[in-house]
Chain A
């Protein structure tokens, strides 16, 4: 027993002492499987900074953890609406990326966004769309309509996976009915509730693991993010990503610095680094989404440049970025959602 204890203690101290010593540190907290390790190595080598990378599975997990302060993280990568929420809660450091040297590479259309007007707090990491994907050998008609989700034809009934996400399901439903987002109109929501309940019997599952659902042929249609759709198509070429005429959601994850972060200067270096076209392309090649940095295209893989999931056709409506709704709207949505899920 003594020997076991001794060896445990030795092993532990070896591991603890093993961390390399670099001039500085940077603690990044990002979505899982979303950071290119090569890109991190490049950043570490260029700045002599040791990076630690931890992952979360949802915006809300991240928020819960950093809200108390003292989390120790420097950089987080919240979605658009989460940036808005975190700014309201005063959780982000005003690092003025718009004054940084690589800001000139940023696509102007991503500068005056609702969640960070003028970009005083954050820079784009990856952006994409949330729509759905259909097997075109199973359903041969026009796929660019939300009708397929909410009033599906015979061949798709019982073959549908929806995202297990209140906002994605409700917003698509509101678009299908032609009603506005962040809706508190009781009559319209009642109609939405009826629609969802009648559509639900045609849905096989409500699940985030869209790639697995589609490639295992468990379903023939799934709500999906465009990057995931591209991965799913690689294994099931009949899949086609829809750009519904009623509209679809756009989203953007952004690099931001936490208020009171231990390594603010290094975090700023990282922010500027992420606006370099080559580095942004490294992230895109890994995570399979577009990045919002001009000139990054020439470093992207050929498959990315021509992917129908990434390049939005001219005929499609513009993706809609939905701001966080008021508390009372969220309460109404939650009621509908809970009712739908039971």
Chain B
């Protein structure tokens, strides 16, 4: 205790702390990396296993990829997953962009903080609560109107994707220099033109990042989808979940590996896209 007060009392002048050279940094970093990526490596490895076990290696083969490709359940689930994720991504990104503009490019107004809180609400409420509430709410609408279909699932996904798309867009807007937009306005550019020629292009990296996050979050979702999804609306995570009780086969590994490959390509494209813009 005495030592602590002593060290607080005497201000120490240090150069900028280099985190990389702190004791134990590499141990912690490597542990994190291994814990994060080793299971994925194992998953990928066993997708090439000839045996039907996901734990016992026998021989290399592509059998599970062929089987997964021909499995109608997986095909349908993949199509539904991408459909929902794409539509939810576009819808939530558009709404998140508008929301970000309204919460940064205006003079502060009463209820601004409240608005931000409401936009981010899906991040704070436990997902299971949203899921059960949405299920009940949609059940009432379905019974009253007789309207069914994929729309319900897309709406639910759009809602919880909005905050994920919103955060990077808002962060980008807050970082952007206002003077460019002011200069354009000074030169008599109408607001819409300022938005299209100045704000939107500068905001694009934020929008892309937000869209990507929304896409991945929608693709990943289990709990809300499990409750809200109707007949013929099984997404890939739900399909995989359903397999567990009856035995997981490397088919699931094969699908996951393809998914992983897809998101790596996706991230790389976004990265290259962002680079070219500069």
Question: Could you list which residues of chain A lie within 8 angstroms of chain B, going by C-beta atoms?
Answer: 5, 8, 11-12, 15-16, 27, 29, 31-34, 37, 52-58, 61, 64-65, 68-73, 208-209, 211-212, 215-218, 228, 231, 235, 287
Contact = CB atoms under 8 A, between A and B. Distances in A.
Interface of B: 51-56, 72-73, 79, 83, 86-87, 90, 132, 135-136, 138-140, 142-143, 148, 150, 226-227, 229-234, 238-239, 241-248
Contacts of A209: 244, 247-248
Contact of B55 (A29, A54, A215): A215
Contacts of B243: 32-33, 55
Given A54-B229, A70-B142, A231 B247 contact: yes
A61 B150 CA distance: 20
Contacts of A65: 135, 226-227
Given A55-B239, A212-B54, A12 B87 contact: yes
A11 B248 CA distance: 31
11 contacts: A15-B79, A16-B150, A32-B242, A57-B245, A64-B132, A70-B143, A71-B231, A72-B231, A212-B54, A212-B248, A215-B55
B246 A31 contact: yes
Contacts of A31: 242, 245-246
B226 A216 contact: no
A316 B234 CA distance: 41
A73 to B, nearest CB: 6
A52 B232 contact: yes
Contacts, number: 109
Most buried by A among B138, B139, B245: B245
Given A8-B86, A27-B232, A71-B139, 4 more contacts: A53-B234, A54-B232, A55-B238, A69-B143
B136 A68 contact: yes
Contact of A33 (B83, B142, B231, B246): B246
Most buried by B among A58, A68, A70, A211: A70
Contacts of A235: 51-53, 56
Contacts of A211: 53, 247
A61 B139 CA distance: 16
Nearest to B70: A37
A27 B52 contact: no
A55 B230 CA distance: 11
A32 B238 CA distance: 9
A177 B215 CA distance: 53
Contact of A55 (B52, B242, B248): B242
Contacts of A53: 73, 234
Nearest to B57: A216
A133 to B, nearest CB: 14
Contact of B247 (A64, A69, A216, A228): A228
Nearest to A55: B242
B227 A216 contact: no
A165 B79 CA distance: 33
A69 to B, nearest CB: 6
Contact of A32 (B87, B140, B239): B239
Contacts of A57: 241-242, 244-245
A3 to B, nearest CB: 13
Contact of A52 (B86, B90, B231, B241): B231
A70 B137 CA distance: 11
Nearest to A287: B246
Contacts of B136: 68
A71 B140 CA distance: 10
